[in-house]
Chains A and B, each alone.
Chain A
Amino acid sequence: MMENYKNQNEDSEVDDFFEMLRTITNNGKMLDFDSMFDSIVNPREVQKVMYVYKLLRDTTGGENVTVNLELHEPFRSCGGVSVEGDSIVIYNTPAFMTALMLSDNFEVIPKLHGKTEMVFGFNDLAEYIWEEQL
């Protein structure tokens, strides 16, 4: 059952992001001047995160479920999709397995107020460029 998703109307946001990805691919690289080292965003890995986000948003059910996407947090190379709710139910087990296989880590964590969080973690969303590589 799909209900109470906070992120139901975020399709345009996702589309914007894919547009940004296309720009990145076209330009070849995007330098991150904010961090200590320059980095190149890895479009393939970011696409995996976006795909898992869409998959879980459309297939996860339960009570008061919200599906959240975090990119480049807490580091440029990390990201994840989290599903939080009073209870989380997965009826579409093949979709769930696809999400598992695409992600690098999977955790289920108890949170405050009786909520449960399921996190799919991703690494290598960006590659740091060291001086010798330049």
Chain B
Amino acid sequence: MRMTSFDTINFVVEEAKKEFADKYEFCERDYEILKKCCVLFDYLLKDVEIISYESEINEFEKTTALTAECQPTLNYVWLTDPKLLSVFQRLMLNTKSLKFEQKEDEIIRMTITFPSLWHIKTDSPK
């Protein structure tokens, strides 16, 4: 069974939750949005052969990066399908940045970075 992008993200987010628990507050609402974005991301790449998914949390910015390595080429005709275009649009609305690079042997790495899921803890008013 094909691994989903959310499986990858969920693992690193759970680890980061423990690490950041002292200083930062985890935003469940933003995480729900991110979950939906993962579904959109998987749908967008449904016809592409994915070699691997990677996920990483930036220690300083607390942003979550999701990378998909695609084989042999990331060669889409996304825009001829209005459904895929609208999926891409919804995904982009919640994305901080998008990066394309070539790893080796024509493997394209597509990385999307989501905004931070953590907020600095503030004392509640008494």
Measured CB to CB, the residues of A under 8 A from B are 62, 86-91, 93-94, 96-97, 100-101, 103-111, 114-116, 118
Which of these, B75, B77, B102, B107, contacts A111 with CB under 8 Å? Answer: B102
The interface size bin for chain B is: 20 to 34
15 extra A-B contacts, CB within 8 A, seeds A91-B97, A97-B88: A87-B100, A87-B101, A88-B101, A93-B92, A93-B93, A96-B98, A97-B89, A97-B92, A106-B76, A106-B78, A107-B76, A108-B108, A109-B75, A110-B73, A116-B102
Q: In the assembly, what is the distance between CA of A21 and CA of B79, in Å? A: 27
- Chain B binding surface, main DSSP class: mixed
10 closest Cβ pairs, A-B complex:
A87-B101, A110-B106, A108-B74, A90-B98, A93-B92, A110-B102, A89-B99, A88-B100, A116-B102, A91-B97
> What's the Cα separation between A62 and B89 when bound, in Å?
22
Q: How far is the CA of A59 from the CA of B16 in the complex (A)?
A: 32
Cβ-defined contact, B79 with A106, below 8 A: yes
Chain A positions within 8 Å of B77 at CB level: 105-107
- Expressed in whole angstroms, the Cα–Cα distance for A96 and B91 within the complex equals 12
Which of A90, A100, A105, A109 has a CB less than 8 Å from the CB of B73? A109
Q: Is the CB of A90 within 8 A of B97?
A: yes
Residues in A neighbouring B106, C-beta threshold 8 A: 110
Cβ–Cβ contact A108 & B104, under 8 A:
no
In Å, the complex CA distance between A100 and B89 comes to 9
Expressed in whole angstroms, the minimum distance between the Cβ of B98 and any Cβ of chain A is 4
B2 CB to nearest A CB, Å: 21
Q: Within the complex, which residue of B79, B89, B101 is in contact with A104, where a contact is CB–CB below 8 Å?
A: B79
Contact residues in B for A104 (Cβ distance below 8 Å): 79-80
In the complex, the answer to whether A93 meets B80 with C-beta atoms within 8 Å is no
CA distance A109 to B110 in the complex (A): 12
Point out the residue from B75, B92, B96 that lies within 8 Å of A108, measured CB to CB.
Answer: B75
